Amino acid sequence: MPAKKKPAAKKKPAAKKKPAAKKKPAAKKKPAAKKKPAAKKKPAAKKKPAAKKKPTAPPTAEKAHAAAAPVETPAAPPKLAPGDDAPDFALPADDGSTVSLSGLRGKRVVLYFYPKDDTPGCTVQACEFRDRQEAFAGKNAVVLGVSRDDADSHERFREKWNLNFPLLIDADASVHRAYGAWGLKSNYGKTFEGVLRTTVVVDEAGKVLSYAGSVKAEGNAESVLKSL
């Protein structure tokens, strides 16, 4: 008998292919940044229209004369000289009395003009005259302080510093002017009219014995005393 054919060997099933790895989804692209809108240009400032020039009025005859006239400067204060007649006066004093030059005939009169009560320089000057009253009396001399301050100011000044001589009130500066104690001054570059610290000595007959303008407050009393 013919030999039986062996059954064909069973083919092994083909190995299953592994499924392909899933591709990762592509990363989403970030949206492009939006461009900022360009800044709007500010409109150019409108130029102000040029101010119209006012028509120049023709100068009047009065203005034309004023422009042509030279500027007048105040006259220099008169300076009294030894031997001149001292201008007479009658002024109220701090105690309510009236003092006149003619009423002091027979005595020497020291008349000193100062700017302001109770200011540093004027206080020094007044106190030096105060401290030398006996010496002046020994020379037959009376001391009179003169300023434009009123009676109340004079009284406070006298009481505060125990002044022992009269303070006279020359409110309108008329006596200052007569004695050359009023004129132009300068301070901090400005020029103005005001009191010029001045000391005049009048003799027993009413004549000018000595005249000193623009004196220094300190030492004035001693200087006058030595000249008597």
Q: What is the pLDDT along the chain (228 residues), one digit of tens a residue?
A: 455 555 555 555 555 555 555 555 555 555 555 555 555 555 555 666 565 655 555 544 444 444 444 444 455 557 799 999 999 999 999 999 999 999 999 999 999 999 999 999 999 999 999 999 999 999 999 999 999 999 999 999 999 999 999 999 999 999 999 999 999 887 788 888 999 999 999 999 999 999 999 999 999 999 999 999
Whole-angstrom distance, CA of residue 31 vs CA of residue 19: 34
In a domain, 103, yes or no: yes
pLDDT of residue 62: 43
Answer whether 207's CB lies under 8 Å from 100's CB.
no
Work out the end-to-end distance of the chain between its first and last CA atoms, rounded to an integer number of angstroms. 191
Q: In sequence order, what are the residues at sequence separation of 6 or more whose Cβ sits closer than 8 angstroms to the Cβ of residue 211?
A: 79, 80, 81, 82, 180, 198, 199, 200, 201
- Only one residue has tokens 């201008």, namely 87
- Only one residue has tokens 């101010």, namely 51
Whole-angstrom distance, CA of residue 137 vs CA of residue 161: 20
In a domain, 62, yes or no: no
What single-letter amino acid sits at 172? D
pLDDT of residue 68: 41
In a domain, 158, yes or no: yes
Total structural domains within the chain: 1
pLDDT of residue 46: 61
In terms of Cα–Cα distance, which of 94, 90, 217, 196 is closest to 153? 94
Based on its alpha-carbon atoms, the radius of gyration of the chain, rounded to whole angstroms, reads 53
Catalytic residue among 80, 91, 110, 122: 122
Confirm whether 122 is a catalytic residue.
Answer: yes
* Residues in the chain, overall count: 228
State which H helix or E strand residue 184 sits in: strand 182-187
Provide the CATH number for the domain around residue 223.
Answer: 3.40.30.10
- Only one residue has tokens 């422009």, namely 67
Whole-angstrom distance, CA of residue 191 vs CA of residue 9: 141
pLDDT of residue 192: 83
- Domain span at residue 179? 90-227
In a domain, 104, yes or no: yes
Q: What pTM was estimated for this model as a whole?
A: 0.67
Extract the tokens encoding 205: 């007959």
In a domain, 45, yes or no: no
In a domain, 173, yes or no: yes
